[in-house]
Amino acid sequence: MHHPRRLGSILLGLTAAACASGGLEDPAGRPNAPELTFAQFAEQAVYIEERDIYLVDGDTPVRTVEELQDIYNHIGRLRRSFGDASSETNPNALSVNTVGGRDDLWDEATRRDLTFCVSQDFGARHATVVEAMIQAGGAWAGVADVRFVHHPEHDASCRPSNAAVVFDVRPVNAGGEYLAAAFFPSWTRDQRTVLIDASSFDTGGAVDLEGILRHELGHVLGFRHEHTRPEAGTCFEDTDYRPLTPYDRDSVMHYPQCNGNAASTLALTAVDAEGARSAYGPPLASTPTDPTTPPSDPTVPGDPSDPSMPTEPPPPPSDPTPPAPTVDCKRAGGTIGRGDSHLYPPLFLSGEVTLRMTGVGDPDLYAWVAGTLELCISDSPGATEGCTLRGTGGPLFVEVYGYEAGNYQLEVCAR
- The mean pLDDT value for 11-25 works out to 27
127: Cβ contacts below 8 Å, ≥ 6 apart: none
Exposed/middle/buried for 262, CB within 10 Å: 0-12, 13-18, 19+?
exposed
23-32, 94-103, 167-176, 352-361, range with the lowest pLDDT: 23-32
Cα–Cα distance measured from residue 168 to residue 129, given in angstroms and rounded to the nearest whole number: 12
Please write the tens of the pLDDT for every residue from 289-322. Answer: 333 334 444 444 444 444 544 455 555 555 555 5
Q: Which residue has the higher pLDDT, 241 or 77?
A: 241
**Measured in Å, how far apart are the chain's first and last C-alpha atoms?**
61
| pLDDT over 90 (residue 152) | yes
Please report the pLDDT score of residue 76 as a whole number.
Answer: 43
Residue 40: which pLDDT band, with cuts at 50, 70 and 90?
Answer: low
Backbone phi, psi, residue 25, to 5°: -135, 145
| pLDDT over 90 (residue 126) | yes
Backbone phi, psi, residue 70, to 5°: -65, -40
The most confident of 4-13, 245-254, 335-344, 365-374, by mean pLDDT: 335-344
Closest CA to 212 of 235, 247, 182, 172: 182
User: Any bridge partners for residue 94, and if so which?
Assistant: none
Q: Which residue has the higher pLDDT, 147 or 45?
A: 147
Cα–Cα distance measured from residue 59 to residue 135, given in angstroms and rounded to the nearest whole number: 21
Please report the pLDDT score of residue 20 as a whole number.
Answer: 28
* pTM of the complete model beyond 0.75: no
Please write the tens of the pLDDT for every residue from 275-284. Answer: 899 899 998 7
For 82, the 3-state DSSP assignment is coil
Q: Which residue has the higher pLDDT, 202 or 71?
A: 202
Q: Which residue has the higher pLDDT, 108 or 88?
A: 108
| pLDDT over 90 (residue 128) | yes
Please report the pLDDT score of residue 164 as a whole number.
Answer: 97
Closest CA to 220 of 260, 248, 180: 180
User: Any bridge partners for residue 414, and if so which?
Assistant: 328, 353
Closest CA to 106 of 188, 185, 204: 185
| pLDDT over 90 (residue 237) | no
Q: Where are the domains of the chain?
A: 325-414
User: Yes or no: is domain 325-414 CATH 2.40.30.30?
Assistant: no
| pLDDT over 80 (residue 382) | yes
Please report the pLDDT score of residue 135 as a whole number.
Answer: 94
User: Any bridge partners for residue 261, and if so which?
Assistant: none
| Mean per-residue pLDDT of the chain | 74
Percent of the chain residues past pLDDT 70, beyond the cut: 66
Cα–Cα distance measured from residue 280 to residue 408, given in angstroms and rounded to the nearest whole number: 31
Cα–Cα distance measured from residue 237 to residue 60, given in angstroms and rounded to the nearest whole number: 9
Closest CA to 412 of 331, 327, 333, 342: 331
62-71, 144-153, 271-280, range with the lowest pLDDT: 62-71
Cα–Cα distance measured from residue 329 to residue 317, given in angstroms and rounded to the nearest whole number: 29
Residue 195: which pLDDT band, with cuts at 50, 70 and 90?
Answer: very high
Neighbours of 22 (CB within 10 A): 7
Q: Is 213 within 8 Å of 225 (Cβ atoms)?
A: no
Residue 61: which pLDDT band, with cuts at 50, 70 and 90?
Answer: low
Please report the pLDDT score of residue 158 as a whole number.
Answer: 97
Please report the pLDDT score of residue 110 as a whole number.
Answer: 95
Element (H, E) at 6: strand 5-6
Percent of the chain residues past pLDDT 90, beyond the cut: 31
